[in-house]
Amino acid sequence: MRAYIKGTGSYAPKNVVKNSYFDAIGSSDEWIYDKLGISERRISTGETTSDLAYQAALIALTDAGLSPMDIDLIVLATATPDRPVPSCACFVQEKLGATRAVSFDISAVCSGALFAAATGVQFIESGMYQNVLVIGADTFSNITDWTRRDAVFFGDGAGAFVLSATEEDKGFLDFDLNSDGRGKDHFTIPSGGSERPTSPETISEGQHFFQMNGKEVFNTAIEVVPQSINTLLKKNKVDIDAIKCLLPHQPSIRILREVAHRVNLPFDKVKTNMDRYANTSGGTIPIILDETLKNEIFEQGDLLLFAAVGAGWTWGTALYKW
Ligand SMILES: CC(C)(COP(=O)(O)OP(=O)(O)OC[C@H]1O[C@@H](n2cnc3c(N)ncnc32)[C@H](O)[C@@H]1OP(=O)(O)O)[C@@H](O)C(=O)NCCC(=O)NCCS
């Protein structure tokens, strides 16, 4: 039994924030575009993470020709759930009326959608479930200090895809997944958990906003992502030249160029949309997947790669056969 992508959808808030917005905090369009490849991002004006996830899920279900009651499991990757408890997946389940579906969140930040896909695939390959709704959704605008220059990196958005069981020779072939908790301080939200519960002091110090060590993220990403891609390709005896395209997480154009260079993949095979959305964290891979599939037709047997890196550290690669 394999799990294949039966339908996709994506959704982002209508509100567009251009790079020029950050002139006031000492950044510039030139710096942001040059360093990150970002021109603009969508920022929620009240929609929650589950609102975005719900909209993306509706489109994915329609695309798959399924109804909410066909879904056995909802796996939602997010770092910005509507509430710390309960899971954001339960919010989406209620909004969809998908009352048959078991629902839970995955916490792997920017690698979340990849880890969620791997989770969904296991339930299908084991024969336990037939249809799994995988969602990646985030509203980093809620954990961003808008007075700091690192506010330029992220946007809000969601993507979703339906995984269904098939006996045909297609779908997800394999994953390479990794974590390294020694990286936990390089991208983190210091307060709001059991280590440092929210208090007037943590709020006044801005400890409820994300803190990022940009250089560490960059240096780690360009090491571990190529390693992961090469490991998975070698294990599956696939040459990089056989890859039709890479659908990666969207941290920055420079990271993706360096990754492509290190694995000998021509950059025109790397799909990007960070110019329009910035980094939507859990949303990036399902959004780029949805956009790609709505603009391009793949042929039976085409091999696709997915790759991501995020806080934790977490990172990995997936190999998919069309
Ligand atoms: C953040 C990043 C762009 C910094 O690149 P860098 O070349 O190492 O830049 P530096 O930190 O040395 O800073 C270079 C200059 O840009 C300036 N700068 C830093 N942030 C800036 C911002 N947001 N806007 C404008 N200028 C900025 C610095 O002050 C410095 O100026 P100076 O040369 O006058 O001193 C790079 O490390 C990166 O892309 N990291 C990955 C971040 C990421 O992808 N995060 C997503 C998480 S998955």
Instruction: Please tell me the predicted confidence (pLDDT) of residue 168.
Output: 97
The pLDDT of residue 92 = 98
Domain co-membership, 88 together with 162: yes
- Do 175 and 307 contact (CB within 8 A), yes or no? no
Helices 49-64 + 88-96 axis angle, to 10: 50
Q: Is the CB of 218 under 6 A from ligand 1?
A: yes
Residue for token pair 């969602």: 135
Q: Same domain for 126 and 233?
A: no
Whether residue 135 is found in the same domain as residue 188: no
Which residues form the domain of 151? 2-169
Claim to verify: residue 209 and residue 177 sit in the same structural domain: yes
Q: Is 283 a domain residue?
A: no
Q: Residue 230: its pLDDT value, please?
A: 98
CA 98 to mean position of chain CA atoms: 23
| CA–CA separation, 270 and 184 (whole Å) | 28
Query: Could you say which of 110, 131, 186, 245 is catalytic?
Result: 110
How many angstroms separate the alpha carbon of residue 215 from the centre of ligand 1? Answer: 8
- For residues 307 and 285, give the distance between their C-alpha atoms in angstroms, rounded to a whole number: 8
Number of domain units in the chain: 2
How far is Cα 46 from Cα 163, in angstroms, rounded to an integer? 30
Q: Tell me, yes or no, whether 106 and 235 share the same domain.
A: no
For residue 93, the domain's CATH number is 3.40.47.10
Same domain, 12 and 104: yes
Q: What's residue 274's pLDDT? A: 98
The DSSP code for 83 is S
Q: Is residue 17 part of a domain?
A: yes
Distance, in Å, from the CA atom of 95 to the CA atom of 170, rounded to the nearest integer, reads 31
Domain boundary among 169, 193, 225: 169
Closest CA to 94 of 133, 118, 68: 68
Q: Are 264 and 287 in contact (CB under 8 A)?
A: no
Count how many residues are written for the chain: 322
Is 139 exposed, middle or buried (CB count within 10 Å of its CB: 0-12, 13-18, 19+)? Answer: buried
Are 180 and 309 in a shared domain? yes
Which residue CA neighbors atom 43 of ligand 1 most closely?
A: 251
Residue with the two structure tokens 């990403």: 221
- Establish whether residue 279 lines the binding site of ligand 1, counting it when its CB lies within 6 angstroms of any ligand atom: yes
Per-residue pLDDT of the chain in tens (322 residues, 90 and over written 9): 999 999 999 999 999 999 999 999 999 999 999 999 999 999 999 999 999 999 999 999 999 999 999 999 999 999 999 999 999 999 999 999 999 999 999 999 999 999 999 999 999 999 999 999 999 999 999 999 999 999 999 999 999 999 999 999 999 999 999 999 999 999 999 999 999 999 999 999 999 999 999 999 999 999 999 999 999 999 999 999 999 999 999 999 999 999 999 999 999 999 999 999 999 999 999 999 999 999 999 999 999 999 999 999 999 999 999 9
pLDDT at 1: 94
State whether 164 and 184 are in the same domain. Answer: no
In contact, 194 and 26? CB cutoff 8 Å: no
| Residue 261 among the catalytic residues | no
Q: Nearest 10 degrees: CA dihedral of 201, 202, 204, 208?
A: -170
Judge whether 110 counts as a catalytic residue. Answer: yes
Last residue of a domain, one of 169, 192, 212: 169
In the residue annotation, 249 being an active-site residue is answered as yes
287 domain-assigned: no
Q: Choose the final residue of a domain: 119, 143, 169.
A: 169
